[in-house]
A and B are shown apart, each in its own frame.
Chain A
Amino acid sequence: MSFLSIRNLSLRLKGGERLLRAVSLNVEAGEVRGLVGESGAGKSMIGKAVLGTLPQAVEVVSGEIWLDGVDLLTLPVGQRRKRIGGLAALIPQDPLTALNPSRRIGPQITDRLVDILSWKRDRAEARARELLAEVQIDGAERVLRSYPHELSGGMRQRILIASAFAAEPKLIIADEPTTALDVTVQKQILRLIAGMQARHDTALLFVTHDLGVVSKVCQNLTILYGGLVVEDASVRDFFHAPKHAYSRALLAATPKYTDPAASLLPVPDAVIAAVRAEVAAADEAWHG
């Protein structure tokens, strides 16, 4: 069985709108999978469902989330948290809001290790120093005593990456980790994530709307629209011959500076209408 296996997962806002429509996707051990969609497609919700951090207003309607052979949705909350905490971690999107502005960096890395995984504080602190070296931060002692506002955006993102790898997770969910950064820093950070992923042989679910980034860091990808999986393919197959009309339109809308004649094409209304019809059909099948 795959390391992470999501089966027919459906989510909705309590008493309202559907967010995910019978989504199935697998991430093998050590695989890097891109999860791509426009805003509102439900890509972040998948990550949150796996990590057990869905907002209060969202409920699971049906489905299974198997992580390393256990269906998380059947576990009681306490056990679920322990299990997720030991196996999976998150690299969040915005490095400023993800760090507590009023606390020093050090405890923000070590607290999770001490509180949830019951590490001794000494061991957690030694691990934090080791990790900062691994994410190429010099002067670890000084940085661990700093507050988030004293560090640059790229530096903060490195710290969150270090923090995600702290407990040697087998799966990392990266939720748009470079959207807030400029291209040169983005490149460094992506290199860093890819390098860490390969060294630790961690599976990575890379949530993004940027197909350019996906083509660089992922082996496979899943495209979402309106909470529905529209395409699931290897990166190579996808970029050479996308199967779904929506995928093709999305690719055509992605800017490419090397193509001088490139006029960006918005996703055509007909394609949107067709993919919406698929979403509606999925809803009907669900009710029926």
Chain B
Amino acid sequence: MADLYEVKDLHLSLPDLTRKPFLGPAPRIEILNGVSFTIAKGEILGIVGGSGSGKSTLGRALLRLLQPTGGSIHFDGQDITYLSEDRLRPSRRRFQMIFQDPMSSLNPRHRVGKIIAGPLQVQGMDHSPARVADALDHVGLPRSFAQRYPHELSGGQRQRIGIARAIALRPEFILADEIVSGLDVSSQAQVLNLLEGLVKDLGLTLGFISHDLSVIRRLCTRVLVLQQGRIVENAPTCQVFAAPSAAYTRELLDAIPLPDPDQVWV
């Protein structure tokens, strides 16, 4: 299978403003420290790590929402690492993101219809109500929701709106950043099942960032484990869970409280 993404020796550093001297530049912190991997078409790649491991930064760099400071990112054969915003914009349709917090990533003053139509309009695509209705159908929400405001919806429904907005553009790659961590278990199960179905039906490639390995196991075909900006494990899901090669992966697994009072844990 062809690779959709090819990432080589990616570095990303940000200025550490808490340590900025009164005059002069702030020292930089290395967030990503030479990350290399590929994402094959049709794959569901899980990206795992503790807080501060760089997983969200990596995701944002893949979508060029953050500018890498070294290395390269190829998307479908094209080097997008340093592409200017103007030249990047036509490609932006092809990689989309679903955000962690559905409340703060949906404009509270816009109706759902406008929220979904917005990116379509920016890309100069058909943003008619029919197209919006089609996106709502895909995520299993009634078409009448186009008239509602985000605050009128439950957390799970809001997250579906985030998914609808992303898939409306017919992207090839979607990055989902901790999209179920704020949801109850039952809405979590619904959103995961929905996402899995969409990946199959629409032929999507998915990057799924999570700190929850139970969710990763349920959904992903391959897993990247990040620790302090470095990849410590990159293997098929079954292998990671059966025989993790990195000590850090073991530590993450052992920390998960299973819903089972007999598990030896503390």
Q: Which chain A residues have a beta carbon within 8 Å of chain B's beta carbons? A: 38-39, 149-150, 153, 181-187, 190-191, 194, 209-216, 235-236, 239, 249-251, 253-258, 260, 262-267
Contacts and interface: CB of A to CB of B under 8 A. Distances in A.
Interface in B215-266: 215-218, 238, 241, 251-253, 255-261, 263, 265-266
Interface centre among B155, B213, B214, B263 (most CB of A within 10 A): B214
A126 B212 CA distance: 39
Contact of A39 (B18, B155, B241): B155
B218 A255 contact: yes
Given A181-B51, A253-B186, A257-B241, A210 B255 contact: no
B258 A260 contact: no
A265 B185 CA distance: 9
Contact of B266 (A150, A191, A250): A191
A37 to B, nearest CB: 9
Interface in B189-228: 189-190, 192-193, 211-218
B57 interface: no
Contacts of A263: 193, 218
B186 A258 contact: no
Contact of A253 (B185, B211, B255): B185
Contact of B190 (A182, A256, A257, A266): A266
B33 interface: no
Contacts of B216: 257
A215 B255 contact: no
B185 A183 contact: no
B259 A254 contact: yes
Given A212-B258, A239-B259, A255 B214 contact: yes
A251 B155 CA distance: 20
B206 to A, nearest CB: 17
A215 B155 contact: no
Interface residues of B, number: 36
Contacts of A191: 266
Contacts of A187: 255, 257, 265-266
B261 A236 contact: yes
Contacts of B215: 255
B184 interface: yes
B185 A254 contact: yes
Contacts of A253: 185-186, 188-189
Contacts of B255: 183-184, 186-187
18 contacts: A38-B185, A153-B51, A181-B51, A182-B50, A182-B211, A183-B256, A184-B252, A184-B255, A187-B257, A209-B185, A212-B256, A215-B259, A216-B257, A239-B261, A255-B188, A255-B218, A257-B253, A264-B185
A120 B211 CA distance: 44
Given A210-B257, A239-B260, A266-B187, A194 B266 contact: yes
A211 B241 contact: no
A255 B216 CA distance: 10
Contacts of B238: 260
A236 B263 CA distance: 12
A266 B189 contact: yes
B261 A215 contact: yes
B56 to A, nearest CB: 12
A257 B260 contact: no
A264 B218 contact: yes
A190 B189 CA distance: 25
B229 to A, nearest CB: 16
A209 B184 contact: yes
Given A253-B189, A254-B185, A260 B217 contact: yes
Give the top 7 A-B pairs by smallest Cβ distance, nearest first: A255-B214, A264-B189, A212-B257, A38-B184, A267-B186, A183-B255, A257-B214
Contacts of B257: 186-187, 190, 210, 212-213, 215-216
Interface centre among A150, A182, A214 (most CB of B within 10 A): A182
A39 to B, nearest CB: 6
Contacts of A39: 155, 184
Contacts of A149: 18
B186 A260 contact: no
Contacts of B218: 255, 262-264
B213 to A, nearest CB: 5
Nearest to A240: B261
Contacts of B211: 182-183
Contacts of A216: 257, 261, 263, 265-266
B101 to A, nearest CB: 12
A256 to B, nearest CB: 6
Given A182-B51, A190-B257, A212-B258, A255 B186 contact: no
